[in-house]
C-alpha cells in the first residue's frame, strides 16, 4: 500500500518561518517535520509515498536527492497551481499511477495513530473511504464527523460554531481510500475533500470513521509547533528527548528549560530560555530572556532583550539590546533597534 502525503500548502499561519521554508521542512527536534511523518508511515509498513507538492518543491527535492526519506521511497507530484485537498490527492495519485487502495495523510500532523488498525477497520466495513477521528475540546476549527453505532459517517460538518457542533470528534487528517474515490474528484477545478468529496460519499453511505484515543497535533500554528516539541521533551510521545543539539554552545551560567536549542545556536551568559524553539544559528545574548517563543534560523536576541508570549522571529531577524517583543512576529531580515523604535 502506498501513501499520499499532502505538503503543498503555503504555511501562512507559521509565517515568517515559512516565507522561505515549507512548513513540513521546519525542524521538529532537529529533524524536518516530514521525516517524522514518513517515519510513522514506515512503522506501519508503508514503503512508498507520494508527496503532493506545490509550494517550494525544490526544498524537498534538494533535501532528499536520492528520493528516500526515513526509509520511504518518494515520488514527487508537483502541482502547477493549487488544487485544494481533493484535487491534490487526485493529481498525486494519478501522477504516481496509484490504482489500488491507498492512505492519505496531512504532512503537518504528528500522531501516534495505529494506521494498521484504521486499515483493518476500513476492510472490515467494506468502506469506500475511512477517516481517523480525534476528540477535541473545541471542534469549531475542524471538520466535525458524527457517526452511527457502526462507524458510518452521518454528516461531515466543516468548522461549525462551537455550540452547534454535533460531536467533539474531528477529522484527524488520515484517510484510507479506495481508488474509486479518485473518480469522484473533478479534474478541471479546485475540489475540497472536506466540503465536497466526503459529503457526497456520506450521501452514498460509503464513508466510515474510526474513533482513536491517540496523540494528535496539527503543527500549523506557532503555538502548536512549539507544543509539539515540548510534548516530546516532556515524554508525551515515548521517552523524553534531549532538545540541545551537540553543536550548540550554551553558557553554563544560562538556563535552558523545556526548549529546543538547534544546530550551532549560541546561548550567552546569564540568558534564560524557557519553553522555546531556537532554530539553527540563532543567538541569545547575555542576560536575554526567551520564553514561549520561536527564533528563526540565524536570528538574534540582543543583550538584556526579551522575546516572549509566542513571538516569532523570522530568518536573520534581530531584536536590539534591552528591547522586548511580546507576541506577534519580526519578519525575515528585520532588525529592531531602540533608534528605529524612537528610543523606547
Active site residues: 159
Q: Who contacts 16 (Cβ-Cβ below 8 Å, separation ≥6)? A: 296, 312, 313, 314, 315, 317, 329, 330, 331, 332
Write the DSSP string, 54-77: -S-HHHHHHH-TTSEETTEEEEEE
* Whole-number Å distance between alpha carbons of 278 and 257: 12
* Contact call for residues 107 and 24 (beta carbons, < 8 A): yes
Count other C-beta atoms under 10 Å from residue 31's C-beta: 11
C-alpha cell at 130: 475511512
Sign of the torsion angle spanned by Cα atoms 227, 70, 111, 12: positive
Write the DSSP string, 201-263: HHHTT-EEEEE--S-EEE--SHHHHHHHHHHHHHTSSSS----B-TT-EE-TTSEEES-EE-T
C-alpha cell at 123: 476492510
* Whole-number Å distance between alpha carbons of 165 and 136: 11
Largest CA distance in the chain: 68
* Whole-number Å distance between alpha carbons of 314 and 296: 5
* Contact call for residues 135 and 35 (beta carbons, < 8 A): no
Count other C-beta atoms under 10 Å from residue 22's C-beta: 27
Amino acid at each position: 500500500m502506498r501513501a499520499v502525503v499532502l505538503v503543498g500548502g503555503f504555511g501562512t499561519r507559521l509565517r515568517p518561518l515559512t516565507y522561505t521554508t515549507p512548513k513540513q521542512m521546519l525542524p521538529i527536534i532537529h529533524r524536518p517535520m516530514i521525516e517524522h511523518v514518513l517515519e510513522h508511515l514506515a512503522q506501519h509498513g508503508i514503503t512508498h509515498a507520494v508527496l503532493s507538492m506545490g509550494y517550494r518543491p525544490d526544498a524537498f527535492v534538494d533535501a532528499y536527492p536520492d528520493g528516500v526519506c526515513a526509509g520511504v521511497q518518494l515520488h514527487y507530484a508537483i502541482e502547477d497551481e493549487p488544487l485544494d485537498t481533493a484535487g491534490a490527492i487526485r493529481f498525486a495519485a494519478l501522477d504516481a499511477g496509484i490504482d489500488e487502495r491507498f492512505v492519505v495523510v496531512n504532512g503537518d500532523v504528528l500522531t501516534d495513530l495505529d494506521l494498521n488498525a484504521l486499515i483493518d477497520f476500513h476492510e472490515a466495513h467494506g468502506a469506500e473511504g475511512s477517516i481517523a477521528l480525534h476528540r477535541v475540546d473545541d471542534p469549531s476549527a475542524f471538520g466535525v464527523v458524527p457517526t452511527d453505532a457502526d462507524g458510518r459517517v452521518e454528516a461531515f460538518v466543516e468548522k461549525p460554531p462551537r455550540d452547534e457542533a454535533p460531536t467533539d470528534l474531528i477529522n484527524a487528517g488520515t484517510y484510507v481510500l479506495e481508488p474509486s474515490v479518485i473518480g469522484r474528484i473533478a479534474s478541471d477545478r479546485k475540489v475540497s475533500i472536506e466540503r465536497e468529496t466526503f459529503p457526497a460519499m456520506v450521501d452514498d453511505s460509503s464513508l466510515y470513521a474510526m474513533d482513536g484515543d491517540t496523540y494528535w497535533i496539527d503543527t500549523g500554528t506557532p503555538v502548536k509547533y512549539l507544543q509539539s516539541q515540548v510534548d516530546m521533551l516532556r515524554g508525551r510521545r515515548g521517552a523524553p528527548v534531549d532538545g540541545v543539539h551537540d553543536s550548540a554552545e550554551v553558557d553554563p551560567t544560562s538556563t535552558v528549560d523545556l526548549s529546543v536549542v538547534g544546530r550551532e545556536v549560541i546561548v550567552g551568559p546569564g540568558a534564560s530560555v524557557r519553553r522555546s524553539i531556537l532554530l539553527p544559528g540563532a543567538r541569545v545574548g547575555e542576560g536575554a530572556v526567551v520564553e514561549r517563543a520561536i527564533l528563526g534560523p540565524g536570528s538574534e536576541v540582543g543583550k538584556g532583550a526579551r522575546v516572549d508570549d509566542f513571538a516569532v522571529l523570522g530568518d536573520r531577524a534581530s531584536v536590539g539590546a534591552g528591547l522586548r517583543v511580546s507576541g506577534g512576529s519580526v519578519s525575515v531580515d528585520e532588525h529592531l533597534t531602540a533608534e528605529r523604535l524612537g528610543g523606547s
